[in-house]
Amino acid sequence: MNMPDIRKIMSENKIFAKKNYGQNFLTDFRVIEKIIAAAQLSSQDSVLEIGAGLGSLTYSLAEHAYNTVAFEIDTRLSEMLKENFSADKNVEIISQDFLTADLNKYENYKIIANLPYYITAPAIFKILEEGKGIKNAVLMVQKEVAQRILSRPNTPDYGAMTVSVSYYGNTELVANVPPNCFVPRPNVDSSVIKITPKKRTLNSEEEKLFFTIVKASFSKRRKTLVNALSSFSELNISKIRATELINQAGLDLNIRGETLSTKDFENLAKLLK
Ligand code: SAM
């Protein structure tokens, strides 16, 4: 496995990790191996990496994939990587904020990232909403966020994030990663998750309703679904309509949003259209 010596690169080049860019560089090759294995990378795959840093993952991606496009916002790091990969035609380093990237340019690729945690939610939703033909996304996130994404109905972690991500794809835990696998050590535990996109079942009008219903249901967790939906101004439905909707969906009138599955929410969006 191809792995740069991060501590040495940092000390030789006087690089101090920037907290505001979420720079916690991976130094444990066993974690990198797990990420590569989870993505099921083959020499035919194209990969898009978010936040290449000092290349902890990028070197392994270059070794396993057909080609790699890696975004890095910190120009000092991206310039170093550009130089190091200048002879490798299969690696393209892009000095850009990933959140402003035009994902229409890429198709049929895998996404790999040790995400800067401050952009976790926008980066995940950008991938899922804008990405075309993504085969899978293997992402290092804060453990607490992984628990929310992977949780089940009727548990405290279950919420809008769980339902929204699971609408787009199947989710699984790859590994839990302790702080000592990074330099500098983050203050939180981390987890690698894998998202495998699935076919979207709603049209755009229904999708809009779906996300509004999800938002309404979890913004008032303690309320019954009837009350949560009818009191959410964005939805603009009466209590009578909300009752009728829940009856049509075959759900109990006393039910609360946190007990509904993603399929139940999809069904409600279709019925409300
Ligand atoms: N991939 C490297 C690794 O595993 O060691 C670095 C991971 S570090 C957690 C996150 C990286 O994302 C940092 O290098 C940081 O500069 C970069 N980054 C932060 N915000 C970014 C953004 N909006 N777009 C692209 N890269 C970003």
Query: Could you say which DSSP state residue 113 is in?
Result: E
- Residue 101 structure tokens: 């990237």
Answer yes or no: same fold for 6-197 and 204-272. Answer: no
Which residue type sits at 10?
M
**What average pLDDT does range 184-189 have in this prediction?**
97
228 lines ligand 1 (CB under 6 A): no
Distance CA 23, CA 42 (A): 28
pLDDT of residue 82: 98
The angle subtended at Cα 188 by Cα 182 and Cα 193, nearest 5°, is 75
The whole model's pTM is what?
A: 0.96
Q: Which residue has the tokens 């309404």?
A: 216
Which ligand 1 atom is at minimum distance from the Cα of 123?
23
The structural domains of the chain, with segments of one domain joined by +, span: 6-197, 204-272
d(CA 5, ligand 1 centre) in Å: 17
Distance CA 206, CA 70 (A): 34
- Looking at domain 6-197, its CATH superfamily turns out to be Vaccinia Virus protein VP39 (3.40.50.150)
pLDDT at 263 over 70: yes
- Residue 156 structure tokens: 């405290």
Torsion over CA of 194, 200, 205 and 207, rounded to 10 degrees?
-30
Predicted confidence (pLDDT) per residue in 79-102, tens digit: 999 999 999 999 999 999 999 999
Query: Cβ neighbours of residue 231 under 8 Å, at least 6 residues apart?
Result: 220, 223
Among 28, 73, 118, name the best residue to mutate to test ligand 1's pocket (greatest count of ligand atoms within 8 A of Cβ): 73
74 lines ligand 1 (CB under 6 A): yes
- Residue 207 structure tokens: 């999708």
- CATH for the stretch 204-272: 1.10.8.100
Distance CA 95, CA 93 (A): 7
Predicted confidence (pLDDT) per residue in 204-255, tens digit: 999 999 999 999 999 888 899 999 999 999 999 999 999 999 999 999 999 9
> pLDDT band at residue 1, thresholds of 50, 70 and 90?
low
Q: What is the mean pLDDT of the chain?
A: 96
22 lines ligand 1 (CB under 6 A): yes
Predicted confidence (pLDDT) per residue in 133-158, tens digit: 999 999 999 999 999 999 999 999 99
pLDDT of residue 273: 86
